[in-house]
Structure 1
Amino acid sequence: MLRNPDLDPNNEEMKEPLWVRSLDVGFDIVFDNYELAKTDMNSIAEKFSRVCPGKKKEDGMVLQIMKSQPSPRVIKSHFPLELHNKDLLKKCKVVYVARNPKDMMVSFYHYIRVTRSANYQGSLEKFTREIMKGNSLCSTTRVPSI
């Protein structure tokens, strides 16, 4: 009987935080730009040292960790489809999850205010306007008025 290693409590990776087990392809970019890299990056750096011996961190730890994983693998991203490889839909199975934009903005606003990575101090109204202009790491086009 085949067992799923992700469900095995003896699997060493089960001890890793979920966000380290399920990496986002954009983490390398985010960690290059935010204060978060000074603290929470340690878990990813430890995994990188373990699974990518001899590789350079500057070449993107998350990308190299993902490349080292056996296929099939799950790669997640918060980036819009147009920022990914044009062959993505031909080469991969893609699951697209969308949220109500109003819910996303309020949730993202509260997240960005409390996280050490951004330390955003503006109002929800200002934040919403910036998102709608496309001034977000996760948006590339102007969002229509809601």
Structure 2
Amino acid sequence: MMSLKLYAGLALGGTGLFSDYVTRAFDLGPRFGEMLREAGDFELPVDPACNIVLFRHVPEGAGDGEGLDALQERARRALRDDGSFYIVQTRLAGRTWLRVTIINPLTTEEPPPSLRRRAVRDARSGNVTARTSAARAPWRYIAPRRP
């Protein structure tokens, strides 16, 4: 069945459709990184070169160390449990970072600030809000969890 879907996609859109999709997804990673830097309360360990972005929320006066790592873990857990976003965490240089992979073909640049606001709110409160449907997910490139 998968080969039929691939054939139909190639027949309808040609190889350019897939090339455009990959190029667009890779271009959105650096753009999201720019948006996080512009926000002022996020840091990135490296400039994104593709569709994978590592970042963490660093509120003013947060310091460094285990408390900041715990903040990232709370933000991720709240976003994951809510079902709005799928974000993973990773360790780099002994610190906890959040990681997103932009892969959804419906992804747009709008409205990424909602992810930033949600991550900040959830990290501070640790609260979990009501489930968000895929159609209303604030930043659609992060695949919503399936019920």
* TM-score tier after normalising by the smaller chain length: under 0.3
TM-score (norm 1): 0.27
Specify the structure having the higher radius of gyration (Cα).
Answer: 1
